[in-house]
Every structure is written in structure tokens, then in C-alpha cells.
Amino acid sequence: MAPASDACIGAPLALVTWEPDTGKFEFGPGLDALKVATGQDNVPLAVVAVTGLPRTGKSSLLNQLVRELLGLELPPEHGFKTGHTTEACTQGLDMWWPPLPVRLPQAGMDSDGSVAATGAVSRAAAGRPTHRLLLLDVEGTSAARMCKSRSVRVMALTALLSSLFVYNSMNVIDEDAVERLGLVGEVVRRVREHAGAHTGGLGKHAPTFVWVLRDAHLQPAVINGREETPTEYMERQLAPLSRKGANGTHGADPDGDGGGNGGAGDDPRTALRALFPHANECRMLPQPLADGGRLRAGAGPGSLGATDLAPAFREGVRELATLIAARARPKSWGGGQAPGATPTAGSACEGGGGCAAATPVTGPVLAALLEAYVGAINSGAVPVIADAWEATLRRECDRACTAAEEAYEAAWVEGPEPQDTQELRQRHEACLAAARKEFEAIAVGPASLKHQFEQQWRAVVQSRYNERLAVLLGRQAEAARRQAEEAQREAAQARREMEKAQERAAAALRQAEAAAAQAAAAQQQAAAAQREAAEARELAAEARQAVAQAQRQADVAIAEAAKSRQQAEAERERAEAVRRQAEELRRREIDARQAMADAAMRAEEAQQQCVAYEKARRAEQFRAEEAARCAEAERQQAAAAQRCAEEARQQAAAEAKQREEAAWRARHAEQQRQAAEAERQLADEASRQAAAEKKGAEAERDRARGAALITAMAAALTLLLKLRG
């Protein structure tokens, strides 16, 4: 084997310790390790417990089994604590953590679990991983200074937890060993599977039993010409005695449940068969070394290397490891056996029918069961497997509900906040998928129980979704209200702008009217200018006639030119003035025509502006009407959203009321159960008192009979003396 580091092989952890001052069990760090087991550690666990008398090599054997199952060499100082003195090392229950992986070999193993080929199971690479082995090192029982109550409690807790129960003793199976192991028979009377209707002991939850005989050196017996196997030897030694055995004890229990009448003289063999009803095995191991001197010097088998051990011992440990890996299966609850387990009487697999889905023991489930069993044992009550399993399954399902709710909230905070109901619904579905995955990873138990708790966490997350939906609808309603207000403000602004446009159009009309008036005035001025021009033309014609007349007069009066030169010059100046007046009249006519053209252009522009203002007014009026319609639609949508939010709030309130009623019913049921338990305890106390009173009455009756007998004898003696006298 190759050496291994501490990180890859694991180490022992204290699971349960015994507190001498209080006389009760206390939990060690191993319980927390089981609770937080996740990933590859949170798989079905097959609990293998090694128990027996103190100082018989239980811890050393476990170290050798760890070495074989891992296929690695343990460091000398690593493993379960061992010692070479008479003082016991293990107190309570220690476990090897993490659990050891198991691979079921596909070949080399008979159907009954016997080894057909040597080699550690952990090296069977062709197999497939199924579960893990949790090895328990149990303190020695029936020690000289250990009270019987403590031994019974340790043995009861070990039998309840283990899937495979290994009893380690020395050399041979003698009557003392059977009587010591008969202590387990007390467990049958103390532990019941169901209250009331079912009284079958541990039933299908009983562990498989393997008896390991250490330092065996005797040859097997020959019976009917054949050497018997160690298992046959064990079966012969544990066969029930006759009804009246050689030692005077009663044998088989007529009820078959190992309980008998509860008397001290009951045959422990019957109790053992009731406690371990499955196919059991016996294995013999020789001495670890051919010479035990080194062991007595202080080096126990757990601290020796593989090469330091005797070959026969190494081979025996290897076969025992293979047997344990093949036979140890996780316990289960709820209809069927764990995969690969042999169907037992009363299980759902019996009779060839299909097995119902079962709940195997994982780390958290085992931790919850351990808490339930230790709590019952510490309080002096009788552990009820059905109640413990039911409480465990409910606790794990409740933890799964909490984890699902946390996963839902953790998935919700990832990503932006949804802005509409469709995004909100999609986010809700994605968060539900994450919560469902987390719930399925933790929840255990039958489908009906898981469905019940699934409905519970679904109701919680649905309530949270409804609250978020109500908040979103409220925000949408508020946004719609703000949009409606904004639309109303825009409509008012549009109305104001339309009024301004109308005012501008009226001003434009007034300007157009003024321009038209100006144009009319210009036309009048143009008509006046035309009249003045006509008058100017008439004056010009008259002037031309006057010029012609003057020329004629000049021609006529050339002779008189000299005489009338001054008159002619005057006439010429008057003609020049008339000409200038005519030119001025022509310019005024041109200006009047230009003013008429400008007035006509301004009138046309005013008319076009009036048309444009009229179109703008109509467009503004249409937009205002459209905005009013949109505002009305938004108002109706906001009212519908408010109604939806109110319905969601009412639904959330109804769901909250239903949750309160369910919690009240659960509390009421718990109070009724506690009351019933108190009445049962009062009834048991009354029964015990009645039995005590009956015994007292019988004692009083016996004393009265003795007194009467003494009185009669005295009277007879007195009469005899009188007769003789």
C-alpha cells in the first residue's frame, strides 16, 4: 500500500460522549460534521459499528479496516486511539470522517456476500459507487466499573444507528460471551418500532450482525464428516436452548419477538435472533503477530504497518473488509430497502412486488436521528423508531423549506428589478426552479410528505410574489396616474397654445383688414393720382396748345419779337414750369401704381397667413381631442390596475390567514400529542403503583397467613401440653 497524507484519508471525530456527572450522553463535533455534510459527503451512509468488551482490540481492528477500505497506508500516529494499558481508550462513540467510499465489485463476490477473490473492495475499480461507509468505534461494554444502565444505553444507541453490527470478542463463543452479548436482548425489550399496533422489535430496521473472534487458534469442529464454517459454528452456539435447558433457564420465546416475559432468566439466544433477524456472519482472525511480545510492548495493530502483521491476519482483515462493504447497506424508511439490500419480512419488497421509494440515511438524516434517539435515552423514555424517523423526515423537510425560501430570495436579487408583470412572472418562475432544485436536494421522505412541505414553501414564495406583484401594480398605477396628469397638463398646454394661435389668427385677421383698408386707401390714392394725371395731361394738352398758339403768335409776332421778348421769356418759363409739373405728375402716377402693387401683395400674404393659422388651429384642436381620449384611457387602465392590486392584497391577506390557521392547528395537534403522552405516562405510573400495591397486599396476606399458622401451632402445642399433663 502507498502512504497517504492526513488530508486525503480523514480522521476520527467524537460523535457521542458520556458525561459521568450527569449520567447522560452528550454530542461531540461529529454531529456538526454530519449536519453540514454536502456534495459527495451527503450520500447514503451505511453505519458500521464495532462493539464488544473493553481492551479486545476494537479500535485496532477499525484502523486495519480503514487501511484496507482506503487501500492506503495509515501513518503510525493516525487513526482511532489505541493503547497498551488496562485503561480503556474510547469513551462513547467515535466516527471516522469523512465516510469511506464503497465500490461494489461486479465479479469475485458470491450472492451471499462471501469473498470469492481476495483484495480490498476499494480497489474494485470495475464497480460503481453506491454509498459510503461510516465506521463507529464504540466504547467497551460490561466493564468492571461500568453500570448496567450505561452499557444498555450504549448498546441500544449502537443498535439503533448501525446498519452492520460487529461484535468483537476473543477466541471462542462460550456461554459467558453469549451472556455478555445477551445484554443486547435488553435492547429488544426497550426499543420498539411502532407504538401500539406494531410490536415486532426492530423489524426491518435491525442491523446485520457479524461476530468477529479474535486471536482464534482452535481448529474447526468436524460434524457429519465435514468441517463447519465459522458462521455455522456461530449458528450452532446461538441456537435456542430447550424449554428447560441444562441450567434450568427457559428457552425459545413463543412470541418470537425476543421480549419473552422480560424475566432475567430468558434465553439470550432468542433475544439475539429477534434483534438480528437477517443473514448473519462470523469471522475468525488469528493473532496479529506470530509473537505477541511487540504488542505487549505497546505497539497495537493500529500503529503497525501492513508488513509488520502476520499474513494470515492481514488476509482475514482483507476478507472482513470485503464482507463489510458487501453487506453494509444504508437504512431506509418509507416502503423499501436501500439498493442492494436483502428484502426482509414486513418490508415493501417482500413477495416479489416492486419496492416503494425509500428514504436512505444521509449525513443530515443520521444527525437528526441521533439527536432524537439520544434525547429519548437521556430522558429515560423508550425510543420509538417510527416517531424518530417521522420527526427526522419532517425536520429535514422543514430545513429544505427554509433552504428553498432562501434560494428563492437569493435568485430573486440577481438581476435588475422587473418592470412589468410579464418580467415579474418570468423571474418568479426562474426563482421557483432554483428553490425547487434546492428543496429536492435536501428534502427526504415519501412523496406525500415532501408534497406537503413543498406546498408550504410554495405558499410562502407565492405570497412574496403576490406582494411584489401588488407593489409592481401599485407602481404601474402610480405611473399611469402620473401619465394621466402629464397628459392633462399637456392638454391644458395645448388648449393654451390653441388660444394663443387663435389670438394670433385674430391679430393676423386684424392686420389683414388693416392691410385691406390700406389697399383701399392706396386704390383711392391711385384713383386720385390718375385724376391728377388726367388733369396734368389736360394741362399738358392746353400747354401744347398754348405753345402752338405762342409759336403762331411768335411767327405772327416775329416782327414784334424784339418788342415782346420779355413776354416770350415769361411764356417760356411758364412752359418750363408746366413741363416740370407734368413730369412730377408722371412720377406720382408711377409711385401710386407701385403702392397699389405692394398693397395687393400684402393683402395676398395676409390671406395666406390667415389660411395657415386656420390649419394650425384645427391641428391643435385635433391633438387636444386625441390627448383627452388618451388621458381617459390611461385613467381607466389606472383604475383597473388599482382593482388588481386590491384583489392581490385581499388574496395575500387570505393566504396569511390560512397560514395562521394551519400553524394554530399544528400547535393544537402538538398540545394534544403532549397531553396524550402525559396521560400515557400517568397510566404507566398508575399501573406500576397498582402492581406495587398488589405485591404489598400479597406480602400482607402472606404475613397474615404466617401469623395465623403460628397462632394455630401455638394453640395446638398448648393443647398437646395440656393433654400430656
Of 243 and 320, more confident: 320
Q: How confident is the model at residue 50 (pLDDT cuts 50, 70, 90)?
A: very high
Q: How confident is the model at residue 136 (pLDDT cuts 50, 70, 90)?
A: very high
Tell me how far apart the alpha carbons of residues 505 and 612 are, in angstroms, rounded to a whole number. 9
Residue 51 bridge partners (DSSP): 167
Nearest to 181 by CA among 108, 243, 258, 123: 258
Domain boundaries, the chain: 2-345+358-383, 399-476, 477-685
Please provide the distance, in angstroms rounded to a whole number, between the alpha carbons at the two ends of the chain: 102
pTM > 0.75: yes or no: no
pLDDT of residue 639: 83
pLDDT of residue 351: 36
Average pLDDT over residues 571-576: 78
Q: Is the pLDDT of residue 72 over 60?
A: yes
Question: Is the CB of residue 293 less than 8 Å from the CB of residue 304?
Answer: no
Q: Is the pLDDT of residue 112 over 50?
A: no
Cα–Cα separations (whole angstroms), residue 595 to 375, 509, 524: 119, 21, 11
Tell me how far apart the alpha carbons of residues 103 and 54 are, in angstroms, rounded to a whole number. 32
The per-residue pLDDT for range 141-168, each reduced to its tens digit, is 765 456 777 777 888 888 888 889 999 9
Share of the chain above pLDDT 70, in %: 77
Tell me how far apart the alpha carbons of residues 664 and 684 are, in angstroms, rounded to a whole number. 30
Q: Residues of 636-656 as b/e, b for ≥16 C-beta within 10 angstroms?
A: ebbeebbebbeebbeebeeee
Residue with cell 407565492: 462
The CA-CA-CA angle for residues 11, 60, 300, to 5°, reads 110
Tell me how far apart the alpha carbons of residues 409 and 72 are, in angstroms, rounded to a whole number. 45
pLDDT of residue 128: 43
Nearest to 56 by CA among 89, 12, 33, 28: 89
Of 502 and 292, more confident: 502
pLDDT of residue 47: 94
pLDDT of residue 164: 92
Q: Residues of 317-328 as b/e, b for ≥16 C-beta within 10 angstroms?
A: bbbbbbbbbbbb
pLDDT of residue 511: 83
Q: Is the pLDDT of residue 713 over 50?
A: yes
Grid cell at residue 174: 462460550
Q: How confident is the model at residue 126 (pLDDT cuts 50, 70, 90)?
A: very low
How remote is the C-alpha of 19 from its chain's centroid?
36
Three-state DSSP state, 136:
strand
Q: How confident is the model at residue 334 (pLDDT cuts 50, 70, 90)?
A: low
Tell me how far apart the alpha carbons of residues 305 and 313 are, in angstroms, rounded to a whole number. 12
Cα–Cα separations (whole angstroms), residue 365 to 17, 558, 630: 20, 157, 62
Quickly count: other Cβ atoms within 10 Å of residue 507's Cβ. 11
Single-letter residue type at 677: E
Q: How confident is the model at residue 342 (pLDDT cuts 50, 70, 90)?
A: very low
Greatest distance between any 2 Cα atoms in the chain: 242
Question: Is the CB of residue 439 less than 8 Å from the CB of residue 457?
Answer: yes
If 0-12 CB within 10 Å is exposed, 13-18 middle and 19+ buried, where does residue 582 land? Answer: middle
Q: How confident is the model at residue 282 (pLDDT cuts 50, 70, 90)?
A: very high
Question: Is the CB of residue 334 less than 8 Å from the CB of residue 357?
Answer: yes
Q: How confident is the model at residue 36 (pLDDT cuts 50, 70, 90)?
A: confident
The per-residue pLDDT for range 616-661, each reduced to its tens digit, is 778 878 887 887 888 788 788 878 878 887 888 888 888 888 888 8
Q: Is the pLDDT of residue 579 over 70?
A: yes
Tell me how far apart the alpha carbons of residues 179 and 181 are, in angstroms, rounded to a whole number. 5
Strands 281-284 and 164-170: unpaired
Q: How confident is the model at residue 247 (pLDDT cuts 50, 70, 90)?
A: very low
pLDDT of residue 283: 92
Q: Is the pLDDT of residue 15 over 90?
A: yes
Question: Is the CB of residue 216 less than 8 Å from the CB of residue 285?
Answer: yes
Which residues touch 367 (CB under 8 Å, ≥6 apart)?
A: 31, 34, 35
Of 521 and 338, more confident: 521
| 160-169, 502-511, 541-550, 620-629: the lowest-pLDDT one | 541-550
| 243-252, 484-493, 710-719: the lowest-pLDDT one | 243-252
Share of the chain above pLDDT 90, in %: 6
Three-state DSSP state, 73:
strand
pLDDT of residue 16: 93
pLDDT of residue 131: 84
The per-residue pLDDT for range 402-429, each reduced to its tens digit, is 888 888 888 888 878 888 888 888 888 8
Top-confidence range, 116-130, 191-205, 413-427: 413-427
Tell me how far apart the alpha carbons of residues 572 and 574 are, in angstroms, rounded to a whole number. 5
Please state, rounded to an integer, the average pLDDT across all residues of the chain: 76
Question: Is the CB of residue 237 less than 8 Å from the CB of residue 179?
Answer: no
Which residues touch 369 (CB under 8 Å, ≥6 apart)?
A: 160, 161, 361, 388, 389, 392
Question: Is the CB of residue 627 less than 8 Å from the CB of residue 554?
Answer: no
Q: How many helices (H) and strands (E) does the chain have?
A: 15, 15
Of 640 and 251, more confident: 640
pLDDT of residue 57: 81
The per-residue pLDDT for range 588-608, each reduced to its tens digit, is 878 877 877 787 787 777 778
Of 347 and 472, more confident: 472
Of 76 and 90, more confident: 90
Which residues touch 674 (CB under 8 Å, ≥6 apart)?
A: none
Q: Is the pLDDT of residue 297 over 80?
A: no
What φ, ψ does residue 47 adopt, rounded to 5°?
Answer: -90, 120
Tell me how far apart the alpha carbons of residues 7 and 502 are, in angstroms, rounded to a whole number. 91
Determine which helix (DSSP H) or strand (DSSP E) holds 325, and give its type and residue range: helix 311-327
CATH architecture of 2-345+358-383: 3-Layer(aba) Sandwich (3.40)
Quickly count: other Cβ atoms within 10 Å of residue 630's Cβ. 15
Q: How confident is the model at residue 255 (pLDDT cuts 50, 70, 90)?
A: very low
Quickly count: other Cβ atoms within 10 Å of residue 95's Cβ. 27
Strands 45-52 and 93-97: unpaired
pLDDT of residue 324: 92
